[in-house]
Amino acid sequence: MKHDDRASAELLEVLELTREFFEREKTRGLQNISMSHETWTALETAVEKAHVAAQQKHTTQKDAARKDIVSKDVALLLRDISALTSGCEKCHLAQTRTNLVFGQGNPNAKLVFVGEAPGADEDEQGLAFVGKAGQLLTKIIEAIKLKREEVYICNILKCRPPGNRTPTTEEIACCMPYLMKQLEAINPPIICALGNVAAHTLLNTTAPMNRLRGRFHKFGQALLMPTYHPAALLRNPDYKKFVWEDVQMIQKEYEKV
């Protein structure tokens, strides 16, 4: 027990004993307890406050312990899903990949970014969003006062399509169960779909990005914000103002959850 905890426990005990002493003396008929009504009330209030503080501390400790267990559970679950994907040969991208890119980040993230598929750098390193587009994504995350380690980052496809071509419907259908398992495990309240492939796949639509972005869509229990892919921003800096608007909306929502 820490020094502060021991001191409050001792204080609570002294207050309890003092109150019990006076209660006992009163029942024995002692008339002349030289204590004013105010002092008696103050003593009772002090005991009550000490009880409430002790209870609050206990609840906070229990909540922290529960959070810790949940966090470890999700991390283990993600590790299991990752093990399930490793060596996957469900589509022909298995033959051309260097590394499978599962995704990475905080298992307890309140915000998950979902991109399209690994690029050359990601394929090389086995990590999501580590190339130029990834560096831009880091800046976007930091612009809304978050750190990369606080969010989770992954893609619709776990393997790189050769030459970064757009994923086919068949590849997406083969790979989606992995992403769905990841999202189910993390259960984030906010998802940001980066680019057309992620937005179209997750929202089951073919509407253009300029009609999808700028507002949240329901995705199960989560709110999903579609926005332009960082790689599209590198090609077309005019999109920056739209992405900025979208991530500011995410930031506002993030502060509420």
Structure tokens at 208: 């253009």
In angstroms, give the least distance from the CB of 83 to ligand SF4: 13
Q: Which is nearer to ligand SF4, 81 or 174 (CB)?
A: 174
Residues that bind ligand SF4 in the complex, under the rule CB under 6 A: 85, 88-91, 93-94, 100, 157-159, 171, 174-175
- In whole angstroms, give the CA distance from residue 247 to residue 109: 16
Q: Which is nearer to ligand SF4, 85 or 182 (CB)?
A: 85
Closest CA to 108 of 257, 256, 252: 257
Altogether, the residues listed in the chain come to a count of 257
In angstroms, give the least distance from the CB of 241 to ligand SF4: 33
Q: Are 159 and 85 in contact (CB under 8 A)?
A: no
In angstroms, give the least distance from the CB of 160 to ligand SF4: 8
Q: Which is nearer to ligand SF4, 69 or 180 (CB)?
A: 180
User: At which residue do the structure tokens 């040969």 appear?
Assistant: 89
Q: Which is nearer to ligand SF4, 91 or 233 (CB)?
A: 91
In angstroms, give the least distance from the CB of 178 to ligand SF4: 6
- In whole angstroms, give the CA distance from residue 238 to residue 80: 41
In angstroms, give the least distance from the CB of 89 to ligand SF4: 6
**Amino acid (1-letter code) at residue 204:** N
The answer for residues whose C-beta is within 8 angstroms of residue 181's C-beta and 6 or more apart is: 81, 84
- In whole angstroms, give the CA distance from residue 158 to residue 172: 10
Q: Which is nearer to ligand SF4, 157 or 223 (CB)?
A: 157
